[in-house]
Structures are given as C-alpha cells and as structure tokens.
Chains A and B, each alone.
Chain A
C-alpha cells in the first residue's frame, strides 16, 4: 500500500490503529512528488526536511495519545498563502524572494491542528495570471498533461489529483477553487464569505475572495473546514458565528431534500457531452433520495458584469503599488489589470449594493420552491489545452476566459457556499456538479456531497499513470 493514495480520513484511521505512521505517509508523498512533479510542475517550494521533522513530532503525539484533528496529515498551500519563514511567491517574479514573517491565519490553524505542510503549490500569478506562468512554467493536469488544471489554484488541483497530497488549500475569487477541482476531478469547497479568514492571503478582490479546501472526498473537505473556519481579528469580514461540526454532516441522510436545478444561464454555452454527463450525475444525485426540481433565476445576466465591476475596482486598489509593473506580469493577469482603471465609483457602488438584491433573489427562489440547495454544472466544458486555452462549447472554440467563471462567479458575488464534486468522465476528462446553499449551510452541502460519493465512484477514479512519468521537462510543449 502506498500511503500517498489515501485520503486524510483514511490516513488518520491508520495512524489511530497504529498501522501506519505520519513519517511513512509523508515519505510516500515526498516520493510521489519526486516521481510525478517533474511532469506536472505543481510544487513551487518543496519542504522535505521540515515536513519529515514535523511528521516525526506527529508520530510522537500519536504515541503519546495527544494527537490533534489533522495530526500527521500532509497538505499543501497555494502559494499566495503566507507562511512564516517560507517563501510565498504569489506565483510571480515580483515576489519570487518574498519570505513572510508570519503565517496566514488559516495556515497557522492547519499547523496547530497537526497538519504537515509538505509544499507550497503552483498558482496562476497573483491568483489571476493565467495558465502560462512565465516565471515558474505551466502547471499540468494529471488527466491530460497537455491541458491546464484551470485556476487559479492550479498546483492544488494537480497535486491532489496526482496523489502527491491528500488535501490542499485553494482560493476562489471567481471560481479558482471550483474550476481546478472540476477539471482535476476533486471535491472543492468555496465556503460562505467570511467563514474562513483571509488574513495573510494575497488578495485580488476583498469582497469576492474566499479560501477553502480541495480534496479527494467530502469527508476530507469537512475535516479541513472544522480546522480553518472561524473569526480572525486579522480579517474584519470573518464571521463570528460559531463553527458547526462539519464532519458530523458526513453520512447524514439527505432523503427528502429538495435541490433546485438552475436552468437557463447556468446551462448555456455547455458542450453537449458535458451536458450529458451532467444529466447522468443529476440522475445519480436523485438516486440518493434527493428531489431535483427545475428553477431559474431572473436577470442573472447582470451578475457577471456586477461581479467583474467589483473585481476590477478592488483589484486595482489592492495592486496599485505594482500597477506600473504591468508588463512584468503574466498575460492573463496583465489583461485583467488593464481593464481595471475604467470603473466609475457609482458603478462599483451599484454593484456592491445590488449584491444584497441578488442574495434576496436566491432566497426567494429557494423559499418559493422549498429548496435546500441549488445544483449547477461546475464547468460547462472540459479543460482547454495549454497551447491555445480554447474550450469547445459545442458551438465552436472560444477563449477559456469567456466561459470559465460563468457558473461559478455568481456565488462569489452572493457569498453563498458552493461545493463541487466529480461527475462522469468525458473523453477521459473529469466533469463535475456544483452544489450551492444558504449562507453558513456548508454542513448540508457536505451531506449532499457525501451521499453522492457514497452512491458513486467518480471521486475514486484516478488519472492514468503512464503520462505522469514522462521524462520531458514540465515546460515542454507550452508557448512562452
């Protein structure tokens, strides 16, 4: 048995029974990184020595009966999450030698829960730069190494899918946890806005940014949520609400729950094969006892514009000090930054005010239809190739950016929790389902996801091994 194949939940069970130790698990994960990362390029900063030392301390805690909730579980952090004494690059040449003096709150919480930080992981530059990272090279998708993982939590998606790590932290401003989770066949949770504090995480848009887990099971996502959730003095938008027991939701019955299938906007521009996979997954969801009913949101077309109006205005404010270095940035991030200075104050404020109206619309639809959650596809296409970043919507090839965040960004704007789980493969590539709920109703989403995963095997399917072990350098075949 290779311990790198196991989930965090499975590892903890083996540690508890004495059948495996954190040192063995960390060593297996390090060996796996050495074996496949030369192709995938998911790891920016490996932390072998520190990880093995921490694993040794975890082993002592298990022996002493003082194990903490994530004791000895290896994990990775998207490299926009600050780590004291460990470089945090933001995926950018501009921060290539940046070494924070303090941990991000969520990083400190993972460490204090006994997690073992194994690596800082690849990210699109400043979480918006695009798949072609000119400083660190592209990160590759284990399901097809010629394709992107999506982003911006690229390394988190690739590393967890390739069994380098059981779990990682991603961040999500318009879909950056959910898109790579979808493209890589993972379970990814964008929590309610404010549920997980962001202090110490490089920002793109402070009213749209979220942080959360990317894992291979709903149970592991719940484990992480139990640890990283809760108010922080460093993030004034973090919620003071008590943290629920997320793991208690795993395995809970969902029979009789009603889920609203969002039609219209959310199912447009979808490749027919991806649509067929989505239909199949909805049938499987219904098989768990969930009732799936059709609903539609009115006037959702303005939500994307409102979202990007907010992102542009806040991004320029956050990046003002480096705005003059636009030509030093990766192409996609430079392209987004180039659009930021032309948002009028009245439009920004209208977009912020309209957010409450959109929240009201979601609440009203849920109340009228007696819903517990919404369901949508998490991506309407399969991942694009790194060489052209074009996706096939069925009507032809279009730029990835034109459709990538279409079904995800509305829930950044509303602040609603949204979770993705893998669905059937299409042409050997993952598809997925997105569940979105009421604020702070992550436990119900996790219950739905765990019921779906108990009834299906999509989350257990893994990429083929052969292409992960090629000897070509990780930047081969990609444009500059």
Chain B
C-alpha cells in the first residue's frame, strides 16, 4: 500500500501560495519575509518528514497513540523497579 505524502507518493512541494493560505486561515498577518522563511524551513525539513510519513505504524493489533509514549515511560521504570 502506498502512503499518501510518503517518499514514493509525495505530491507537489509546498509553495508560497500554500503557506500564504495556511497563514491567512490561521489569522496570522505576518510579513512576506516571515512567510518566505517559514516556507524555506518547511522545504528544508521535507525529506525527513516524508521519511517519517513512510514509517509504518500498526493499523490493527497493537494500539499506538500519543499517550502510549507517556505510559511507556512509567511502565519501563516499573519493569526495573
């Protein structure tokens, strides 16, 4: 199965129009320079982000959700206590 947005199916690169629209949608009236800098950082991080998107996580079986990590911290400690 191909994961949308993953390296083998990344879709178009974010561009200035996307950044402008997302900033406007969040009510952020930032300067052109700030939005350009935001786009540059988004593009710089994109290869690693695509790699993260491609990492498989279980759909069935083990439940992995955000609070899992917090519980794991305490549980790991318990194992050694």
Task: Name A's B-contacting residues (CB within 8 A).
Answer: 192-194, 207, 237, 239-241, 299, 301-302, 304-306, 308-309, 323-324, 326-327, 334-335, 338-342, 346-347, 349-357, 359-360, 363, 415, 438-441
Report A-chain residues with C-beta under 8 Å of the C-beta of B66: 207, 349, 352-353, 355
- Give chain A nearest CB distance to B39 CB in angstroms: 8
Q: Determine if B80 and A438 form an interchain contact, defined as CB atoms under 8 angstroms apart.
A: yes
Q: Which of A301, A339, A347 contacts B41 (CB 8 A)?
A: A339
B13 CB within 8 Å of chain A: no
Q: List 29 A-B contacts (CB under 8 A).
A: A193-B70, A194-B70, A194-B74, A207-B69, A240-B74, A299-B55, A301-B51, A302-B51, A304-B48, A305-B48, A309-B45, A309-B49, A309-B52, A326-B34, A335-B41, A338-B30, A340-B38, A341-B26, A342-B14, A342-B38, A347-B49, A353-B65, A355-B69, A356-B72, A357-B55, A359-B69, A439-B74, A439-B77, A440-B76
B60 CB within 8 Å of chain A: no
Report B-chain residues with C-beta under 8 Å of the C-beta of A350: 52-53, 55, 57
Report A-chain residues with C-beta under 8 Å of the C-beta of B65: 353
Interface residues of B in 42-81 (CB under 8 A from A): 42, 45, 48-49, 51-53, 55, 57, 64-66, 68-70, 72-74, 76-78, 80
Task: Give bound CA distance, A262 to B64, whole Å.
Answer: 26
Interface residues of B in 19-49 (CB under 8 A from A): 19, 22-23, 26, 28-31, 34-35, 37-39, 41-42, 45, 48-49
Task: Give bound CA distance, A193 to B48, whole Å.
Answer: 25
Report B-chain residues with C-beta under 8 Å of the C-beta of A353: 57, 64-66, 68
Task: Give bound CA distance, A349 to B64, whole Å.
Answer: 11
Known: A194-B70, A239-B73, A356-B69. A302 touches B55 (CB 8 A): yes
Task: Give bound CA distance, A76 to B34, whole Å.
Answer: 35
Q: Determine if B74 and A441 form an interchain contact, defined as CB atoms under 8 angstroms apart.
A: no
Report B-chain residues with C-beta under 8 Å of the C-beta of A241: 74, 77-78
Known: A339-B41, A347-B53, A441-B80. 10 other contacts (CB 8 A): A240-B74, A302-B51, A302-B52, A327-B31, A327-B34, A342-B18, A350-B52, A352-B69, A359-B69, A440-B77
- Prevailing SS type, chain B contact patch: helix
Q: Determine if A354 and B55 form an interchain contact, defined as CB atoms under 8 angstroms apart.
A: yes
Task: Give bound CA distance, A356 to B70, whole Å.
Answer: 8
Task: Give bound CA distance, A347 to B66, whole Å.
Answer: 12
- Give chain A nearest CB distance to B52 CB in angstroms: 4
Q: Determine if A439 and B76 form an interchain contact, defined as CB atoms under 8 angstroms apart.
A: yes
Please give me the residue from chain B that is nearest to A413 by CB atom: B69
Report B-chain residues with C-beta under 8 Å of the C-beta of A192: 73, 77
Known: A194-B73, A239-B74, A334-B34. A308 touches B45 (CB 8 A): yes
- Give chain A nearest CB distance to B77 CB in angstroms: 3
Task: Give bound CA distance, A347 to B73, whole Å.
Answer: 22
Task: Give bound CA distance, A237 to B69, whole Å.
Answer: 11
Q: Determine if B49 and A339 form an interchain contact, defined as CB atoms under 8 angstroms apart.
A: no
Q: Determine if B73 and A415 form an interchain contact, defined as CB atoms under 8 angstroms apart.
A: yes
Q: Determine if A438 and B76 form an interchain contact, defined as CB atoms under 8 angstroms apart.
A: yes
Please give me the residue from chain B that is nearest to A402 by CB atom: B44
Q: Which of B26, B38, B74 contacts A339 (CB 8 A)?
A: B38
- Give chain A nearest CB distance to B31 CB in angstroms: 7
Task: Give bound CA distance, A360 to B55, whole Å.
Answer: 14
| Chain A proximity mask over B2-20: 1 for CB below 8 Å, otherwise 0 | 0001000000001000110
Task: Give bound CA distance, A161 to B19, whole Å.
Answer: 43
Task: Give bound CA distance, A324 to B37, whole Å.
Answer: 16
Report A-chain residues with C-beta under 8 Å of the C-beta of B38: 338-342
Q: Determine if A338 and B41 form an interchain contact, defined as CB atoms under 8 angstroms apart.
A: yes
Task: Give bound CA distance, A333 to B38, whole Å.
Answer: 12
Most B-side CB within 10 Å, residue of A192, A302, A415: A302
Task: Give bound CA distance, A32 to B31, whole Å.
Answer: 45
Task: Give bound CA distance, A346 to B54, whole Å.
Answer: 12
Most B-side CB within 10 Å, residue of A240, A347, A350: A350
Task: Give bound CA distance, A188 to B18, whole Å.
Answer: 42
Q: Determine if B49 and A415 form an interchain contact, defined as CB atoms under 8 angstroms apart.
A: no
Q: Determine if A359 and B76 form an interchain contact, defined as CB atoms under 8 angstroms apart.
A: yes
Q: Determine if B22 and A342 form an interchain contact, defined as CB atoms under 8 angstroms apart.
A: yes
Task: Give bound CA distance, A360 to B71, whole Å.
Answer: 12
